[in-house]
Amino acid sequence: MERLSRFVEGLCTAGAFFSALFMIGIVILIMIEVVMRSLFNTSTMITSEFSGYFLVALVVLGLGHTLHHEGHIRITLLRGRLGPVGRKRLDLVVGSLGLCLCLFALYFTVLMVLDTRSLGMRADTVAETPLWMPQAVIPVGLGLFALQLFAFLVRRARS
């Protein structure tokens, strides 16, 4: 189990690294846009589109890493009133529900990406981005999140 946990954490750390790169990408795009508009009175015409894609990527790629470090918002009103056994049971129930929902979303986002690619759909923007490209990051991030949820459940079950 320890090897699985380290493997999943390594994958989620890589996801967090790419998440940070997408954040830097947003900053760079906005800086370029500001300079272009200020100095050259023109626009890149892609900043808004790509910043949106990058924002989605940074969120989904960071989900697993955030879960591992318990960074997600928790409502502890009920959990705080339970004893250790009750907290463990609640964590297992909520973690299992979260994993089921995540796998459900993962399945349908994979179908979405495959459909989008097979239909050759493109963004209705100047860049005409093939939509499967920015969409493909969503199942990757959800896959990382599902792995981390599974590792979370195993850790809680063994504790």
Output the pLDDT for position 72: 87
Tokens of 132: 């499967």
SS3 state of residue 123: coil
Segment 5-27, tens digit of pLDDT: 899 999 999 999 999 999 999 99
Average pLDDT (121-129) is 97
Terminal Cα-to-Cα distance of the chain (whole angstroms): 12
Average pLDDT (84-108) is 97
**Least confident interval from 10-14, 28-32, 73-77, 96-100:** 73-77
State pTM to two decimals: 0.93
Tokens of 81: 């009133």
Q: How confident is the model at residue 73 (pLDDT cuts 50, 70, 90)?
A: confident
pLDDT of residue 74 exceeding 90: no
Size of the chain in residues: 159
**Least confident interval from 29-38, 43-52, 79-88:** 79-88
Q: How confident is the model at residue 98 (pLDDT cuts 50, 70, 90)?
A: very high
Output the pLDDT for position 120: 98
